[in-house]
Amino acid sequence: MTGVVPVPGDAPTSTAGPVLVIGTGLIGASVALALRERGTEVWLQDRDPEALSVAVERGAGLPRPAAGEPALVIVAVPPAAAPSVVIEVLRSTVNATVSDVVSTKARLQREIETSGLDASAIARFVPGHPMAGREVSGPAAARADLFADRVWALTPSAATDLTRTRQVAALVESLGAVPVITSPDEHDRAVALTSHTPQVVASTVAAGLADLGDTGVRLSGQGLRDVTRLAASDPGLWAEILASNAEPVAGALDSLIDRLAAVRDGLRAGEAGAAAVRTSLEAGVVGHRRVPGKHGAAPVTWAVVAVSVADRPGELGRLFADAGATGVNLEDVRIEHAQGRPTGLVELEVSPESASSLADGLRTTGWDVRF
């Protein structure tokens, strides 16, 4: 996100409890699990007793007690419910810092600031959005490491107390995430393109498979799995998210439709349109180079050493052990499963200067290496 800067380094380094987590879905329960792992007292609240029960059973915390005020509240409810919940928490607490995990910020911020709350209450609200998630939902899918090394946007307004922002930044850092500060509007424009549009694209591409016969689906490769992975996400939740960021998403889709139309028109023009198609594909290469690389650093082109691996217990572990014995650092790993055969192709990404050493080392231990 353009203009995003790290939270000041003098933010506290620990999070004092108790922390109240309202909403025990994937994100809320993951926040709670991560805090409990670090010894923070966590209270849980959810209007769904079954979700609350699962979160408690998983060790995410204890139900909110009848008395007592938390030091910090994380509101982890769907976008449509978030404003009323945040407002109620700010009205019912005296000194608690309040944050949220809603994936759009401008609309929520406007509703809080026009709610009639007094300035001291509004100053306690630090809007947030962890750039993490999974295509599965609910407390059973929660993970304590969900936020490790992920960006967590904070969008405090001019009305937000700086001390409160630092307190939330401390919580974010305690979860292993990287807090960054941006404005609500800039955040929403960015996620419209980087998060919300990919979800729409994944869902619409996957929707097209309904009209494809079984034989056609079997002709798919890893590219289809990569593009459609997000399509398994909760449609109800995503409908709310998109509605809460409607205009920025609509604008991003307008731009995408224009780019798709340029490719479509180029294809229909035959040879005369070949240059336009190539230009569109080249623009994609340029854009892909802007996607942050490992640990958020500049992207790097790795060499790929592909290894055929039998689909049986222990084989991946043996492969990684043999790769480690070569002394070559694995930068990334991808697995493509063969259709109709009990094997998979494991693509090991390494620095170009290390690829030959890795390939040779694995061959000497009997692996079928494609390099």
Cβ atoms of residues 142 and 55 within 8 Å: yes
Cα 198 from Cα 186, distance rounded (Å): 18
Specify the domain boundaries for CATH 3.40.50.720 within the chain: 10-182
Both tokens assigned to 201: 């694209």
Radius of gyration of the chain (CA): 24
Say if CB 359 and CB 366 are below 8 A apart.
no
Give span(s): CATH 3.30.70.260, the chain: 303-370
What is the per-residue pLDDT across 246-279, written as a single tens digit (0 to 9) for each?
A: 999 999 999 999 999 999 999 999 999 999 999 9
- CATH architecture of residue range(s) 189-288: Orthogonal Bundle (1.10)
Could you report the per-residue pLDDT of 175-198, keeping only the tens digit for each?
A: 999 999 999 999 999 999 999 999
DSSP state of 183: -
Cα gap 229→223, rounded to integer Å:
10
Confidence of residue 226 (pLDDT cuts 50, 70, 90): confident
The model's pTM is 0.73
Which stretches within the chain are classed as H helix? 26-37, 49-57, 82-92, 106-113, 119-122, 162-174, 184-191, 197-207, 214-218, 222-228, 235-244, 246-268, 274-288, 315-325, 355-364
CATH of region 303-370: 3.30.70.260
Whether the CB-CB separation of 28 and 101 falls below 8 Å is answered with: yes
What distances in angstroms separate CA 30 from CA 36, 53, 95, one per listed residue? 10, 15, 25
Give the architecture-level CATH label for domain 10-182.
3-Layer(aba) Sandwich (3.40)
Q: What is the pLDDT of residues 236-246, one digit of tens each?
A: 989 999 998 99
Tell me the average pLDDT across 52-64: 97
Q: At what angle do helices 274-288 and 246-268 cross, to 10 degrees?
A: 140
Q: Where in the chain is the domain with CATH 1.10.3660.10?
A: 189-288
On the CB side of 184, CA atoms within 13 Å amount to: 21
Q: Please state, in angstroms and rounded to a whole number, the distance separating the CA atoms of residues 297 and 293.
A: 5
Per residue in 66-117, pLDDT (tens digit) is 999 999 999 999 989 999 999 999 999 999 999 999 999 999 999 999 999 9
In this predicted model, what pLDDT tens digit does every residue of 127-137 receive, in sequence order? 999 998 776 77
Please determine, for residue 2, whether its predicted confidence score (pLDDT) is greater than 50. Answer: no
Residue 335 has pLDDT above 90, yes or no: no
